[in-house]
């Protein structure tokens, strides 16, 4: 196979990135996340929550895949319908503007309580999570519990 014909993997951002949601509900994306979306060639995103606690920013191509999964759920149709409902009740399409900002849907920002607040952003499984400070602290505490045991487990699995 020709080396030039191989698709180039797009590196996702790593680590947590702090950002602020202004009083108008606009989230200024950190440079690493802006660059990631640019490399994907996507300025349109779908912003929502699926659990009522953590916001999610989906590149539109990833959200379209989720729509297909939820639409064609088979035996889990009722659960899929509930996720679809919540995603649409809180979510909406947004476009990254020239300053690298996204407008978070009003219902979502009210529900999460992020207007005028600092948030933490993290890439995970094709989307970007939006954590409030309270949820971030809660997850950090839980993740820190039994950390030596977790480390040993994954070192046995090959973690270096």
pLDDT in tens, 71-98: 998 898 999 999 999 999 999 999 999 9
- For the stretch 129-147, pLDDT in tens is 999 999 999 999 999 999 9
18 within 8 A of 30, measured Cβ to Cβ: yes
Strand residue runs (E) in 22-100: 26-28, 44-49, 55-59, 92-95
Q: Where are the domains of the chain?
A: 3-156
pTM: 0.89
CA-wise closest residue to 94 among 43, 37, 51, 35: 43
DSSP string, 38-59: HHHT--EEEEEESSSSSEEEEE
What is the Cα–Cα distance from 68 to 71, expressed in whole angstroms?
5
Residues 6+ apart with CB under 8 A from 125: none
Which of the listed CATH numbers 3.40.1550.20, 3.20.20.70, 3.30.540.10, 3.40.50.1220 matches domain 3-156? 3.40.1550.20
């Amino acid at each position: 196979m020709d080396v030039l014909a191989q698709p180039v993997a797009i590196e996702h951002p790593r680590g947590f990135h702090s950002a602020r949601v202004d009083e108008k509900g606009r989230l200024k994306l950190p440079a690493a996340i802006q660059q990631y979306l640019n490399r994907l060639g996507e300025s349109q995103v779908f912003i929502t929550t699926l659990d009522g606690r953590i916001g999610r920013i989906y590149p539109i191509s990833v959200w379209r895949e989720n729509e297909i999964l939820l639409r064609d759920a088979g035996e889990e149709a009722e659960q899929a319908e509930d996720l679809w409902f919540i995603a649409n009740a809180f979510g909406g399409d947004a476009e990254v503007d020239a300053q690298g900002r996204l407008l978070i849907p009003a219902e979502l920002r009210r529900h999460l309580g992020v207007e005028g607040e600092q948030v933490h952003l993290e890439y995970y499984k094709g989307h970007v999570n939006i954590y409030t400070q309270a949820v971030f602290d809660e997850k950090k505490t839980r993740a820190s519990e039994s950390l030596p045991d977790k480390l040993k487990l994954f070192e046995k699995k090959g973690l270096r």
